[in-house]
Amino acid sequence: MRFLLIEDNVPLAGAVVDRLSLDGHVVDHAGDLETARDYVATTSYDMILLDIMLPDGDGSSFLTHLRLTENRTPTIVLTARSEVSDRISLLDLGADDYMVKPIDFAELEARCRAVLRRRGSSASSVLSLGAIRFDAASGVLHAGSEDIQLRTRELRLFEVLINAPGMIFSKPALVDRLFSYDEDVSENAIEVYVARLRKHLAGSDVTITTVRGLGYKLEQT
Amino acid sequence: MRFLLIEDNVPLAGAVVDRLSLDGHVVDHAGDLETARDYVATTSYDMILLDIMLPDGDGSSFLTHLRLTENRTPTIVLTARSEVSDRISLLDLGADDYMVKPIDFAELEARCRAVLRRRGSSASSVLSLGAIRFDAASGVLHAGSEDIQLRTRELRLFEVLINAPGMIFSKPALVDRLFSYDEDVSENAIEVYVARLRKHLAGSDVTITTVRGLGYKLEQT
DNA sequence: GGAAACCTGACACCAAGCTGACACGGAGGG
DNA sequence: CCCTCCGTGTCAGCTTGGTGTCAGGTTTCC
Protein backbone atom coordinates (compact mmCIF):
# COMPACT_ATOMS: atom_id res chain seq x y z
CA MET A 1 0.00 0.00 0.00
CA ARG A 2 1.17 3.52 -0.73
CA PHE A 3 0.40 6.14 1.90
CA LEU A 4 0.61 9.89 1.87
CA LEU A 5 1.23 11.44 5.27
CA ILE A 6 0.57 15.17 5.52
CA GLU A 7 1.95 16.35 8.84
CA ASP A 8 4.20 19.25 9.83
CA ASN A 9 5.38 17.86 13.14
CA VAL A 10 8.62 16.24 12.04
CA PRO A 11 9.25 13.81 14.92
CA LEU A 12 5.68 12.58 14.84
CA ALA A 13 5.77 12.21 11.08
CA GLY A 14 9.00 10.25 11.34
CA ALA A 15 7.46 7.90 13.84
CA VAL A 16 4.39 7.29 11.70
CA VAL A 17 6.53 6.71 8.62
CA ASP A 18 8.68 4.23 10.50
CA ARG A 19 5.73 2.38 11.88
CA LEU A 20 3.88 2.07 8.59
CA SER A 21 7.08 1.13 6.77
CA LEU A 22 7.44 -1.80 9.12
CA ASP A 23 4.22 -3.17 7.69
CA GLY A 24 5.76 -2.98 4.24
CA HIS A 25 3.85 0.11 3.20
CA VAL A 26 5.44 2.88 1.20
CA VAL A 27 4.94 6.26 2.81
CA ASP A 28 5.52 9.65 1.25
CA HIS A 29 5.69 12.52 3.67
CA ALA A 30 4.53 16.07 2.93
CA GLY A 31 5.18 18.76 5.52
CA ASP A 32 2.74 21.28 4.08
CA LEU A 33 -0.24 21.52 1.76
CA GLU A 34 1.73 22.74 -1.21
CA THR A 35 3.94 19.67 -1.20
CA ALA A 36 0.92 17.49 -0.60
CA ARG A 37 -0.85 18.89 -3.66
CA ASP A 38 2.17 18.12 -5.80
CA TYR A 39 2.24 14.57 -4.50
CA VAL A 40 -1.41 13.79 -5.10
CA ALA A 41 -1.19 15.32 -8.57
CA THR A 42 1.52 12.92 -9.62
CA THR A 43 0.94 9.78 -7.61
CA SER A 44 -1.92 7.48 -6.85
CA TYR A 45 -2.22 6.66 -3.17
CA ASP A 46 -4.10 3.94 -1.37
CA MET A 47 -4.58 6.09 1.69
CA ILE A 48 -4.01 9.63 2.94
CA LEU A 49 -3.32 10.61 6.56
CA LEU A 50 -4.02 14.29 6.95
CA ASP A 51 -3.15 16.62 9.79
CA ILE A 52 -5.57 19.53 10.09
CA MET A 53 -3.30 22.28 11.35
CA LEU A 54 -0.60 22.97 8.78
CA PRO A 55 1.82 25.87 8.27
CA ASP A 56 0.34 26.98 4.97
CA GLY A 57 -3.33 26.44 5.55
CA ASP A 58 -6.13 24.30 6.83
CA GLY A 59 -6.13 20.60 6.00
CA SER A 60 -9.88 20.60 5.58
CA SER A 61 -9.64 22.87 2.52
CA PHE A 62 -7.19 20.37 1.06
CA LEU A 63 -9.68 17.59 1.65
CA THR A 64 -12.51 19.60 0.14
CA HIS A 65 -10.49 20.23 -3.01
CA LEU A 66 -9.49 16.60 -3.18
CA ARG A 67 -13.09 15.43 -3.17
CA LEU A 68 -14.16 18.11 -5.62
CA THR A 69 -11.66 16.74 -8.10
CA GLU A 70 -13.28 13.33 -7.78
CA ASN A 71 -10.35 11.93 -5.86
CA ARG A 72 -11.83 9.32 -3.54
CA THR A 73 -8.63 8.19 -1.86
CA PRO A 74 -9.49 6.97 1.67
CA THR A 75 -8.46 9.66 4.12
CA ILE A 76 -8.02 9.66 7.88
CA VAL A 77 -7.75 13.04 9.55
CA LEU A 78 -5.33 13.55 12.45
CA THR A 79 -6.30 16.29 14.84
CA ALA A 80 -5.40 17.74 18.25
CA ARG A 81 -8.11 17.41 20.86
CA SER A 82 -8.85 21.10 20.97
CA GLU A 83 -9.45 21.13 17.24
CA VAL A 84 -12.27 18.62 17.35
CA SER A 85 -14.85 21.33 17.39
CA ASP A 86 -16.99 19.45 15.02
CA ARG A 87 -16.16 15.92 14.04
CA ILE A 88 -19.27 15.68 11.93
CA SER A 89 -18.13 18.46 9.64
CA LEU A 90 -14.88 16.60 8.96
CA LEU A 91 -16.72 13.48 7.95
CA ASP A 92 -19.03 15.60 5.84
CA LEU A 93 -16.03 16.97 4.03
CA GLY A 94 -15.18 13.48 2.92
CA ALA A 95 -12.92 12.11 5.65
CA ASP A 96 -13.34 8.41 6.26
CA ASP A 97 -12.33 8.57 9.89
CA TYR A 98 -10.43 10.78 12.31
CA MET A 99 -7.99 10.28 15.14
CA VAL A 100 -7.14 12.45 18.09
CA LYS A 101 -3.50 13.13 18.97
CA PRO A 102 -1.43 11.84 20.57
CA ILE A 103 -1.53 9.01 18.10
CA ASP A 104 -1.61 5.44 19.28
CA PHE A 105 0.13 3.53 16.50
CA ALA A 106 -1.64 0.28 17.05
CA GLU A 107 -4.94 2.12 16.84
CA LEU A 108 -3.78 3.94 13.72
CA GLU A 109 -3.01 0.67 12.02
CA ALA A 110 -6.31 -0.79 13.07
CA ARG A 111 -8.23 2.20 11.74
CA CYS A 112 -6.35 2.10 8.46
CA ARG A 113 -7.27 -1.53 8.03
CA ALA A 114 -10.87 -0.78 8.98
CA VAL A 115 -11.18 2.08 6.51
CA LEU A 116 -9.57 0.11 3.72
CA ARG A 117 -11.88 -2.81 4.44
CA ARG A 118 -14.93 -0.54 4.50
CA ARG A 119 -13.94 0.99 1.20
CA GLY A 120 -13.63 -2.48 -0.22
CA SER A 121 -10.45 -1.46 -2.00
CA SER A 122 -9.06 -4.84 -1.22
CA ALA A 123 -12.32 -6.06 0.19
CA SER A 124 -12.10 -9.64 1.34
CA SER A 125 -8.34 -9.41 0.89
CA VAL A 126 -8.33 -12.87 -0.65
CA LEU A 127 -7.58 -12.83 -4.35
CA SER A 128 -7.38 -15.82 -6.63
CA LEU A 129 -6.26 -16.55 -10.14
CA GLY A 130 -6.27 -20.03 -11.64
CA ALA A 131 -5.38 -22.52 -8.96
CA ILE A 132 -3.64 -20.08 -6.66
CA ARG A 133 -5.06 -18.07 -3.82
CA PHE A 134 -3.51 -15.06 -2.19
CA ASP A 135 -4.46 -13.53 1.13
CA ALA A 136 -3.26 -9.95 0.96
CA ALA A 137 -3.91 -9.33 4.63
CA SER A 138 -1.68 -12.12 5.89
CA GLY A 139 0.59 -12.22 2.85
CA VAL A 140 0.16 -15.95 2.43
CA LEU A 141 0.22 -17.44 -1.05
CA HIS A 142 -1.46 -20.81 -1.58
CA ALA A 143 0.08 -22.35 -4.67
CA GLY A 144 -0.43 -26.02 -5.33
CA SER A 145 -0.45 -27.75 -1.96
CA GLU A 146 1.97 -25.30 -0.43
CA ASP A 147 1.35 -22.29 1.75
CA ILE A 148 4.08 -19.72 1.32
CA GLN A 149 4.55 -16.72 3.54
CA LEU A 150 5.63 -13.92 1.23
CA ARG A 151 7.99 -11.32 2.64
CA THR A 152 7.14 -7.68 2.46
CA ARG A 153 8.68 -6.70 -0.85
CA GLU A 154 7.61 -9.86 -2.61
CA LEU A 155 4.18 -9.28 -1.20
CA ARG A 156 3.89 -5.76 -2.52
CA LEU A 157 5.03 -6.78 -5.97
CA PHE A 158 2.63 -9.69 -6.09
CA GLU A 159 -0.19 -7.50 -4.84
CA VAL A 160 0.36 -5.08 -7.70
CA LEU A 161 0.48 -7.84 -10.30
CA ILE A 162 -2.51 -9.86 -9.15
CA ASN A 163 -4.71 -6.82 -8.87
CA ALA A 164 -4.56 -6.44 -12.65
CA PRO A 165 -3.83 -9.82 -14.25
CA GLY A 166 -2.70 -9.55 -17.85
CA MET A 167 -1.68 -5.93 -17.58
CA ILE A 168 1.91 -5.11 -18.37
CA PHE A 169 3.84 -3.23 -15.71
CA SER A 170 7.11 -1.67 -16.77
CA LYS A 171 10.10 -1.89 -14.51
CA PRO A 172 10.16 1.86 -13.81
CA ALA A 173 6.45 1.71 -12.93
CA LEU A 174 7.07 -1.18 -10.54
CA VAL A 175 10.00 0.59 -8.92
CA ASP A 176 7.60 3.46 -8.41
CA ARG A 177 5.03 1.22 -6.77
CA LEU A 178 7.40 -0.66 -4.49
CA PHE A 179 9.78 2.02 -3.38
CA SER A 180 9.35 5.55 -2.12
CA TYR A 181 11.05 8.46 -3.84
CA ASP A 182 14.06 8.62 -1.57
CA GLU A 183 14.93 4.98 -2.07
CA ASP A 184 17.32 4.86 -4.97
CA VAL A 185 16.98 1.40 -6.38
CA SER A 186 18.14 -0.14 -9.64
CA GLU A 187 15.67 -1.80 -11.94
CA ASN A 188 17.57 -5.01 -11.45
CA ALA A 189 15.91 -5.25 -8.04
CA ILE A 190 12.61 -5.80 -9.82
CA GLU A 191 14.15 -8.59 -11.88
CA VAL A 192 15.37 -10.20 -8.69
CA TYR A 193 11.94 -10.07 -7.05
CA VAL A 194 10.27 -11.39 -10.14
CA ALA A 195 12.66 -14.33 -10.05
CA ARG A 196 11.88 -14.94 -6.37
CA LEU A 197 8.14 -14.84 -6.99
CA ARG A 198 8.53 -17.19 -9.94
CA LYS A 199 10.14 -19.73 -7.66
CA HIS A 200 7.11 -19.58 -5.42
CA LEU A 201 4.76 -19.94 -8.37
CA ALA A 202 6.65 -22.90 -9.85
CA GLY A 203 4.35 -25.82 -10.46
CA SER A 204 1.19 -23.74 -10.42
CA ASP A 205 -0.80 -22.64 -13.45
CA VAL A 206 0.06 -18.99 -12.94
CA THR A 207 3.19 -17.42 -14.32
CA ILE A 208 4.84 -14.06 -14.52
CA THR A 209 5.54 -13.43 -18.18
CA THR A 210 8.31 -11.18 -19.40
CA VAL A 211 7.42 -8.88 -22.27
CA ARG A 212 10.82 -7.86 -23.43
CA GLY A 213 11.32 -4.12 -23.53
CA LEU A 214 7.92 -3.46 -21.95
CA GLY A 215 7.66 -5.17 -18.60
CA TYR A 216 6.00 -8.02 -16.74
CA LYS A 217 2.49 -9.38 -16.50
CA LEU A 218 0.81 -12.05 -14.43
CA GLU A 219 -1.24 -14.61 -16.30
CA GLN A 220 -2.85 -17.99 -16.13
CA THR A 221 -1.36 -20.57 -18.49
CA MET B 1 -6.04 16.62 -28.89
CA ARG B 2 -5.21 20.23 -28.15
CA PHE B 3 -1.63 20.94 -27.07
CA LEU B 4 -0.02 24.00 -25.57
CA LEU B 5 3.67 24.33 -26.34
CA ILE B 6 5.60 26.81 -24.20
CA GLU B 7 9.03 27.25 -25.75
CA ASP B 8 11.08 30.31 -26.69
CA ASN B 9 13.37 28.64 -29.19
CA VAL B 10 11.48 29.42 -32.41
CA PRO B 11 12.98 26.83 -34.77
CA LEU B 12 12.55 24.07 -32.22
CA ALA B 13 8.99 25.17 -31.47
CA GLY B 14 8.20 25.18 -35.18
CA ALA B 15 9.50 21.65 -35.56
CA VAL B 16 7.44 20.39 -32.63
CA VAL B 17 4.31 22.11 -33.93
CA ASP B 18 4.83 20.60 -37.37
CA ARG B 19 5.37 17.17 -35.98
CA LEU B 20 2.36 17.16 -33.67
CA SER B 21 0.19 18.66 -36.36
CA LEU B 22 1.01 15.69 -38.55
CA ASP B 23 -0.77 13.52 -36.03
CA GLY B 24 -3.81 15.69 -36.30
CA HIS B 25 -3.30 17.54 -33.05
CA VAL B 26 -3.97 21.23 -32.62
CA VAL B 27 -0.99 23.03 -31.16
CA ASP B 28 -0.93 26.51 -29.69
CA HIS B 29 2.49 28.02 -29.25
CA ALA B 30 3.46 30.45 -26.49
CA GLY B 31 6.93 31.99 -26.55
CA ASP B 32 6.89 33.21 -22.98
CA LEU B 33 5.11 32.71 -19.68
CA GLU B 34 2.87 35.73 -19.99
CA THR B 35 1.39 34.47 -23.25
CA ALA B 36 1.14 31.01 -21.78
CA ARG B 37 -0.83 32.29 -18.78
CA ASP B 38 -3.29 33.98 -21.10
CA TYR B 39 -3.72 30.79 -23.08
CA VAL B 40 -4.36 28.50 -20.11
CA ALA B 41 -6.75 31.05 -18.63
CA THR B 42 -8.94 30.96 -21.70
CA THR B 43 -8.52 27.51 -23.17
CA SER B 44 -8.68 23.95 -21.96
CA TYR B 45 -5.77 21.84 -23.14
CA ASP B 46 -5.28 18.09 -23.24
CA MET B 47 -1.58 18.44 -22.74
CA ILE B 48 1.08 21.02 -22.01
CA LEU B 49 4.71 20.86 -23.17
CA LEU B 50 6.74 23.23 -21.04
CA ASP B 51 10.27 24.49 -21.52
CA ILE B 52 11.97 25.39 -18.24
CA MET B 53 14.21 28.25 -19.35
CA LEU B 54 12.08 31.09 -20.67
CA PRO B 55 12.79 34.78 -21.33
CA ASP B 56 10.42 36.08 -18.68
CA GLY B 57 10.86 33.55 -15.94
CA ASP B 58 11.23 30.00 -14.83
CA GLY B 59 8.85 27.40 -16.25
CA SER B 60 8.72 25.58 -12.95
CA SER B 61 7.01 28.53 -11.26
CA PHE B 62 4.43 28.41 -14.03
CA LEU B 63 3.87 24.74 -13.31
CA THR B 64 3.61 25.28 -9.58
CA HIS B 65 1.08 28.02 -10.11
CA LEU B 66 -0.86 25.81 -12.52
CA ARG B 67 -1.14 23.00 -9.98
CA LEU B 68 -2.02 25.34 -7.15
CA THR B 69 -4.98 26.50 -9.18
CA GLU B 70 -6.05 22.86 -9.36
CA ASN B 71 -5.27 22.67 -13.05
CA ARG B 72 -4.27 19.06 -13.63
CA THR B 73 -3.55 19.24 -17.34
CA PRO B 74 -0.95 16.57 -18.14
CA THR B 75 2.40 18.31 -18.51
CA ILE B 76 5.73 17.21 -19.93
CA VAL B 77 8.70 19.39 -19.11
CA LEU B 78 11.40 20.02 -21.72
CA THR B 79 14.81 20.75 -20.30
CA ALA B 80 18.44 21.07 -21.31
CA ARG B 81 20.63 18.36 -19.89
CA SER B 82 22.48 20.70 -17.56
CA GLU B 83 19.19 21.74 -16.01
CA VAL B 84 18.26 18.25 -14.89
CA SER B 85 19.72 18.78 -11.46
CA ASP B 86 17.00 16.71 -10.02
CA ARG B 87 14.43 14.72 -11.89
CA ILE B 88 12.48 14.24 -8.71
CA SER B 89 12.06 17.94 -8.05
CA LEU B 90 10.42 18.39 -11.44
CA LEU B 91 8.06 15.54 -10.82
CA ASP B 92 7.36 16.88 -7.35
CA LEU B 93 6.30 20.15 -8.89
CA GLY B 94 3.59 18.28 -10.71
CA ALA B 95 5.13 17.39 -14.05
CA ASP B 96 4.01 14.05 -15.46
CA ASP B 97 7.25 13.40 -17.25
CA TYR B 98 10.30 15.23 -18.50
CA MET B 99 12.45 15.15 -21.62
CA VAL B 100 16.00 16.22 -22.18
CA LYS B 101 16.90 18.34 -25.18
CA PRO B 102 17.69 17.81 -27.95
CA ILE B 103 14.18 16.48 -28.39
CA ASP B 104 13.73 13.16 -30.10
CA PHE B 105 10.35 13.45 -31.79
CA ALA B 106 9.62 9.74 -31.84
CA GLU B 107 10.23 9.68 -28.12
CA LEU B 108 8.15 12.80 -27.55
CA GLU B 109 5.17 11.19 -29.21
CA ALA B 110 5.63 8.00 -27.25
CA ARG B 111 5.81 9.90 -23.98
CA CYS B 112 2.74 11.94 -24.80
CA ARG B 113 0.83 8.76 -25.48
CA ALA B 114 2.14 7.20 -22.28
CA VAL B 115 1.19 10.19 -20.16
CA LEU B 116 -2.26 10.47 -21.71
CA ARG B 117 -2.79 6.76 -21.23
CA ARG B 118 -1.69 6.97 -17.61
CA ARG B 119 -4.05 9.83 -16.99
CA GLY B 120 -6.78 7.77 -18.58
CA SER B 121 -8.05 10.79 -20.49
CA SER B 122 -8.21 8.88 -23.74
CA ALA B 123 -10.93 6.54 -22.58
CA SER B 124 -9.89 2.95 -23.07
CA SER B 125 -6.72 1.80 -24.68
CA VAL B 126 -8.50 -0.77 -26.84
CA LEU B 127 -8.72 0.01 -30.53
CA SER B 128 -10.48 -2.13 -33.08
CA LEU B 129 -10.80 -2.36 -36.82
CA GLY B 130 -12.78 -5.05 -38.62
CA ALA B 131 -12.43 -8.28 -36.70
CA ILE B 132 -9.25 -7.38 -34.92
CA ARG B 133 -8.80 -5.75 -31.56
CA PHE B 134 -5.68 -4.10 -30.24
CA ASP B 135 -5.00 -3.29 -26.61
CA ALA B 136 -2.35 -0.59 -26.54
CA ALA B 137 -1.84 -0.95 -22.78
CA SER B 138 -0.86 -4.58 -22.89
CA GLY B 139 0.37 -4.59 -26.47
CA VAL B 140 -1.77 -7.58 -27.31
CA LEU B 141 -3.30 -7.99 -30.76
CA HIS B 142 -6.40 -10.17 -31.02
CA ALA B 143 -6.62 -11.36 -34.60
CA GLY B 144 -8.91 -14.25 -35.42
CA SER B 145 -8.79 -16.62 -32.49
CA GLU B 146 -5.23 -15.79 -31.63
CA ASP B 147 -3.81 -13.42 -29.06
CA ILE B 148 -0.45 -12.14 -30.15
CA GLN B 149 1.92 -10.26 -27.91
CA LEU B 150 3.50 -7.62 -30.12
CA ARG B 151 7.03 -6.58 -29.28
CA THR B 152 8.11 -3.02 -28.88
CA ARG B 153 8.96 -2.06 -32.45
CA GLU B 154 6.08 -3.93 -34.01
CA LEU B 155 3.87 -2.33 -31.42
CA ARG B 156 5.01 1.18 -32.24
CA LEU B 157 4.47 0.65 -35.93
CA PHE B 158 1.05 -0.90 -35.46
CA GLU B 159 0.05 1.87 -33.09
CA VAL B 160 0.85 4.45 -35.73
CA LEU B 161 -1.05 2.61 -38.45
CA ILE B 162 -4.19 1.76 -36.50
CA ASN B 163 -4.55 5.27 -35.16
CA ALA B 164 -5.29 6.43 -38.69
CA PRO B 165 -6.68 3.54 -40.75
CA GLY B 166 -6.59 4.19 -44.47
CA MET B 167 -3.98 6.89 -44.18
CA ILE B 168 -0.81 6.37 -46.18
CA PHE B 169 2.47 6.59 -44.28
CA SER B 170 5.67 6.88 -46.29
CA LYS B 171 8.71 4.88 -45.32
CA PRO B 172 10.77 7.95 -44.35
CA ALA B 173 7.86 9.13 -42.19
CA LEU B 174 7.65 5.75 -40.49
CA VAL B 175 11.40 5.61 -39.90
CA ASP B 176 10.98 9.00 -38.32
CA ARG B 177 8.21 7.72 -36.07
CA LEU B 178 9.85 4.51 -34.95
CA PHE B 179 13.45 5.46 -34.53
CA SER B 180 15.22 8.30 -32.81
CA TYR B 181 17.50 10.21 -35.03
CA ASP B 182 20.71 8.88 -33.59
CA GLU B 183 19.58 5.47 -34.77
CA ASP B 184 20.70 5.21 -38.34
CA VAL B 185 18.35 2.75 -39.91
CA SER B 186 17.68 1.79 -43.51
CA GLU B 187 14.17 1.97 -44.89
CA ASN B 188 14.36 -1.73 -45.40
CA ALA B 189 13.79 -2.09 -41.68
CA ILE B 190 10.27 -0.76 -42.21
CA GLU B 191 9.67 -3.32 -44.92
CA VAL B 192 10.79 -6.01 -42.53
CA TYR B 193 8.42 -4.86 -39.78
CA VAL B 194 5.55 -4.55 -42.20
CA ALA B 195 6.20 -8.15 -43.20
CA ARG B 196 6.23 -9.24 -39.57
CA LEU B 197 2.98 -7.45 -38.83
CA ARG B 198 1.41 -8.97 -41.94
CA LYS B 199 2.19 -12.43 -40.62
CA HIS B 200 0.33 -11.58 -37.45
CA LEU B 201 -2.61 -10.24 -39.41
CA ALA B 202 -2.78 -13.24 -41.75
CA GLY B 203 -6.26 -14.73 -41.81
CA SER B 204 -7.93 -11.61 -40.46
CA ASP B 205 -9.90 -9.08 -42.48
CA VAL B 206 -7.34 -6.36 -41.93
CA THR B 207 -4.30 -5.93 -44.13
CA ILE B 208 -1.40 -3.60 -44.58
CA THR B 209 -1.52 -2.46 -48.19
CA THR B 210 1.51 -1.31 -50.11
CA VAL B 211 1.00 1.82 -52.17
CA ARG B 212 3.94 1.60 -54.44
CA GLY B 213 6.13 4.67 -54.33
CA LEU B 214 4.08 6.25 -51.54
CA GLY B 215 4.01 4.01 -48.52
CA TYR B 216 1.75 1.75 -46.49
CA LYS B 217 -1.75 1.94 -45.10
CA LEU B 218 -3.85 -0.23 -42.84
CA GLU B 219 -7.27 -1.17 -44.12
CA GLN B 220 -10.17 -3.50 -43.77
CA THR B 221 -10.75 -5.77 -46.76
C1' DG C 1 12.97 -6.25 -71.17
C1' DG C 2 14.99 -3.57 -67.80
C1' DA C 3 15.07 -0.92 -63.75
C1' DA C 4 13.26 0.48 -59.56
C1' DA C 5 10.59 -0.80 -55.64
C1' DC C 6 9.36 -4.18 -52.65
C1' DC C 7 9.40 -8.81 -50.19
C1' DT C 8 11.50 -12.23 -47.25
C1' DG C 9 14.35 -16.05 -45.17
C1' DA C 10 18.57 -16.21 -42.83
C1' DC C 11 21.83 -14.45 -39.74
C1' DA C 12 24.81 -12.12 -36.46
C1' DC C 13 24.86 -8.74 -32.96
C1' DC C 14 24.00 -6.89 -28.61
C1' DA C 15 21.07 -5.04 -25.11
C1' DA C 16 17.56 -6.88 -21.98
C1' DG C 17 16.80 -10.09 -18.80
C1' DC C 18 18.19 -13.95 -15.55
C1' DT C 19 20.51 -15.77 -11.57
C1' DG C 20 23.84 -17.43 -8.09
C1' DA C 21 26.64 -15.25 -4.90
C1' DC C 22 27.58 -11.76 -1.78
C1' DA C 23 27.65 -7.74 1.23
C1' DC C 24 25.02 -4.89 4.15
C1' DG C 25 22.13 -3.77 8.03
C1' DG C 26 18.52 -4.23 11.26
C1' DA C 27 16.29 -7.42 14.74
C1' DG C 28 16.58 -10.28 18.31
C1' DG C 29 18.64 -13.37 21.42
C1' DG C 30 22.21 -14.93 24.44
C1' DC D 1 27.82 -6.03 23.51
C1' DC D 2 28.51 -9.48 20.28
C1' DC D 3 26.71 -12.94 17.41
C1' DT D 4 23.53 -14.89 14.36
C1' DC D 5 19.78 -14.82 11.35
C1' DC D 6 17.16 -13.11 7.80
C1' DG D 7 15.44 -9.92 4.36
C1' DT D 8 17.22 -7.11 0.96
C1' DG D 9 19.52 -4.89 -3.07
C1' DT D 10 23.73 -5.05 -5.97
C1' DC D 11 26.84 -7.12 -8.95
C1' DA D 12 29.01 -9.86 -12.60
C1' DG D 13 28.78 -13.24 -15.73
C1' DC D 14 25.80 -15.67 -18.54
C1' DT D 15 21.74 -16.60 -21.62
C1' DT D 16 18.37 -15.29 -24.81
C1' DG D 17 15.46 -13.18 -27.97
C1' DG D 18 14.41 -8.89 -30.51
C1' DT D 19 16.45 -6.24 -34.06
C1' DG D 20 18.37 -4.48 -38.37
C1' DT D 21 21.03 -5.89 -42.34
C1' DC D 22 21.82 -8.36 -46.30
C1' DA D 23 21.33 -10.95 -50.40
C1' DG D 24 18.64 -12.84 -53.54
C1' DG D 25 14.07 -13.29 -55.26
C1' DT D 26 9.51 -11.20 -56.98
C1' DT D 27 6.42 -7.68 -58.55
C1' DT D 28 5.27 -3.43 -60.93
C1' DC D 29 5.52 -0.05 -64.29
C1' DC D 30 7.26 2.26 -68.24
pLDDT in tens, A16-29: 877 676 555 778 88
Nearest CA in chain A to B93: A38
pLDDT value at position A64? 84
More confident site: A180 or B58: B58
More confident site: A87 or B29: B29
Q: With contact defined as beta carbons under 8 Å apart, do A80 and A51 qualify? A: no
pLDDT value at position A137? 67
pLDDT value at position A21? 66
pLDDT at B76 over 80: yes
Q: What nucleotides of chain C have any atom within 7 angstroms of a protein Cβ?
A: 5-10, 16-21
Contacts of A35 in chain B (CB under 8 A): 92
State the Cα torsion A123-A125-A127-A133 to the nearest 10°. Answer: -160
pLDDT > 90 fraction of chain B, expressed in percent and rounded: 30
pLDDT > 70 fraction of chain B, expressed in percent and rounded: 84
Residue B187: which nucleotide is closest by CA–C1'? D20
Q: What is the mean pLDDT of residues B153-167?
A: 89
pLDDT value at position B194? 96
pLDDT value at position A121? 46
Mean pLDDT comparison of A57-71, A148-162, B78-92, highest-scoring range:
A148-162
The beta-carbon neighbor of B88 closest among A168, A181, A211 is A181
Helix axes A10-22, A105-119, angle to 10 degrees: 60
pLDDT value at position A198? 95
Is the CB atom of residue B183 positioned under 7 angstroms from any atom of strand D? yes
Is the CB atom of residue B65 positioned under 7 angstroms from any atom of strand C? no
Q: Determine the Cα–Cα distance for residues B151 and B17; give it in Å rounded to an integer.
A: 29
pLDDT value at position B88? 45
The beta-carbon neighbor of A42 closest among B96, B149, B151 is B96
Q: What is the mean pLDDT of residues A111-133?
A: 68
Contacts of A37 in chain B (CB under 8 A): 67-68, 94
pLDDT value at position B87? 46
pLDDT value at position B121? 38
pLDDT at B201 over 90: yes
pLDDT at B80 over 70: no
- Kindly report the nearest CA distance between residue A11 and chain B, in angstroms: 23
Of B188, B182, B189, B123, whose CA–CA distance to B154 is shortest?
B189
The beta-carbon neighbor of A213 closest among B72, B95, B151 is B151
Contacts of B72 in chain A (CB under 8 A): 41, 69
Q: How confident is the model at residue A125 (pLDDT cuts 50, 70, 90)?
A: low
Cβ-defined contact of B92 to A38 (cutoff 8 Å)? yes
More confident site: B126 or B178: B178
The alpha-helical segments, DSSP class H, found in A7-151 are 10-22, 33-42, 59-68, 87-93, 105-119
| CA distances (Å), origin B185, targets A199, B191, B203 | 40, 12, 30
In window 157-186 of A, residues with CB < 7 A from nucleic chain C are: 171
Mean pLDDT of the residues in chain A: 80
Is the CB atom of residue A24 positioned under 7 angstroms from any atom of strand D? yes
pLDDT value at position A28? 85
Per-residue pLDDT of B14-72, as tens digits, reads: 888 888 877 768 888 999 999 999 888 888 888 899 988 888 888 888 888 887 777 87
Task: Classify strands A75-79 and A97-100 as parallel, antiparallel or unpaired.
Answer: parallel
Q: How confident is the model at residue B200 (pLDDT cuts 50, 70, 90)?
A: very high
Contacts of B92 in chain A (CB under 8 A): 35, 38-39, 42
pLDDT at A78 over 90: no
Q: What nucleotides of chain D have any atom within 7 angstroms of a protein Cβ?
A: 6-12, 17-23, 28-29
Contacts of B151 in chain A (CB under 8 A): 211-214
pLDDT value at position A187? 93
More confident site: B19 or B142: B142
pLDDT at A202 over 80: yes
Task: Measure B181 CA to C14 C1' (Å).
Answer: 19
Q: What is the mean pLDDT of residues A63-70?
A: 82
